[in-house]
Amino acid sequence: MPVASIATPRWDGPLPTPEEAAKMIDHSLLRPELTPAEVAAGLETASEYRTASVCVRPADVAAAVSALTGSGVAVGTVVGFPHGGATTAAKVFETAELVGLGAQEIDMVIDIGRLRGGDVAYVQDEIAAVVRAAEGRTVKVIFENAYLDDEQKAAGYRAAEAAGAAFVKTSTGFAPGGATAADIALMRRTVSPHVHVKAAGGVRTLDALLELHRLGATRFGATATATILDDLRGRLTGAAPLTDDAPTTGY
């Protein structure tokens, strides 16, 4: 089911520089139908705009590392994606393999059903195992908030912090709902300042990015990277805003 774009009014506060905004974005290349040529084009977009990272499918990590070496764009990938239902051992193996291929950031999906069932200890232990397997690389924990109530969310966020994760993250982009203002606010007030918040799912406009950044998100999973950053450049130079024609699934 497509995740709707976040509807927000036009931002009327101070604007970041294009370079600052780009370093908030993980350019997402996770849709299952992407061809190698489409992935390569996406890597070129990330390099051109100097995003914080790309987030690619596991099978694309080696190509992304080769293409982006020296660009300043980190290579990220996903573990247990998108359902989170793999065993802990499988997630650990996947993490170790991807780190060995050069991945610098790992976005892992929790066992959603375990958290919904109240087994927070299992969730925390699994996150900690992935953090250890990542050997110091950035680990972002995806909660798929659309399936959780606020009590479950907060328990999961606290578990991620206790397990040593660097980020808590809203969603995969493949569930019925994505990032919301309420969830970003809940994430930010639940975890300590040293744990970052990543918004993913429906962040397709500059206005949405800036509003969620105001609420505490510091990183954004996005397919509409060019639309967002070109809109920012246009506003800074007085040009007309662009139309968002980005895909509507997978962030």
Residues with catalytic function: 107, 169, 198
Q: What is the DSSP letter of 86?
A: S
The pair of structure tokens assigned to 251 is 């962030």
Q: CB 66: neighbour CB atoms within 10 A?
A: 11
Residue 47, CB half-sphere, CA atoms under 13 Å: how many?
14
CA distance 38 to 26: 17
CA distance 200 to 169: 7
Contact 233, 18 (CB under 8 A): yes
Of 32, 44, 131, 30, which is closest to residue 76 (Cα–Cα)? 30
Contact 142, 171 (CB under 8 A): yes
Dihedral sign, Cα of residue 108, residue 205, residue 43, residue 238:
negative
Contact 200, 109 (CB under 8 A): no
Residue carrying structure tokens 């350019």: 27
Q: What is the DSSP letter of 239?
A: P
Of 207, 209, 113, 221, which is closest to residue 167 (Cα–Cα)? 221
